[in-house]
Structure 1
Amino acid sequence: MDKKNALRAGALAAGTTLMMLLMSSPALAVSRDDGDDPGQGLTVMETLAQFVIAPIVIFAVIVGLVMVLDRSSDRQPKAKAKKA
């Protein structure tokens, strides 16, 4: 990918992100909609457990399963053969 295409892709991504931020309206979150029935808020520990600890544990379980179930016996990368 040349420099011009990379610049064009970056400008497109930045423009799209900016437009999405401008179009979203967080001020509408202040007024309640009909039928809203919010539950109780989460404590700090519940929030950390749900959004920090649980994803880390799930990631660790997936990594562990991949490592345990990997059947390949060769763990070291092979050295490249030198040309004569």
Structure 2
Amino acid sequence: MDKKNALRAGALVAGTTLMMLLMSSPASALVRDDGDDPGSGLSVIETLGLFVVAPLVLFAVIAGLVMVLDKSKEEHRVTTRNIKTKPAGAKAGSKA
């Protein structure tokens, strides 16, 4: 039954993708539309700064704020100090 559902989902995704590709018009970058007013292009350094460096900096700032402002309790954090293990001889259903 799962194989049939997976096959149906795959066919649906493939069909949808194919229809999107066929129905979308090609990018016409060489033909200008009326009212087009493109600005000057970006240099390589500006492009790398905008699409590589800026997202990395934003990720680092958000991660840093999350770590600094973390108010969770110590006993809820998973560390090697608060992991409780069962004795070697204990069985799964018994209370030790």
- Could you give the per-residue CA deviations for residues 21-76 of structure 1, whole angstroms, max 9, x where no partner exists? 22222243321011110000000111111111111111121111112222122432
Cα distance in 1, alignment partners of residues 9 and 70 from structure 2: 38
Answering whether residue 32 of structure 2 is matched by residue 32 of structure 1, we say yes
Cα distance between partner residues in 2 of 1:76 and 1:39: 52
Q: Which has the higher contact order (CA 8 A, sep 6+)?
A: 2
Where do 5+ consecutive residues of structure 2 fail to align?
none
Segment of structure 1 superposing worse, 36-45 or 52-61: 52-61
- Aligned residue pairs, count: 84
Change (3 A) 1:5 1:80: farther
Structure 1's unaligned 5+ residue stretches are none
Q: TM-score when scaled to structure 1?
A: 0.77
Counterpart position of 2:47: 47
Q: CA RMSD in A?
A: 2.3
Question: Given residue 78 of structure 2, which amino acid in structure 1 is its aligned partner?
Answer: Q
- Normalising by structure 2, we get a TM-score of 0.69
Structure number with higher helix proportion: 1
Cα offsets for 1:1-27 (capped at 9, x unmatched): 922222222222222222222222224
Structure with bigger gyration radius: 2
**Equivalents in 1 of 2:53, 2:6: separation in Å?**
37
- Structure 1 pair 70–3 and aligned structure 2 pair: CA distance change class (3 A): farther
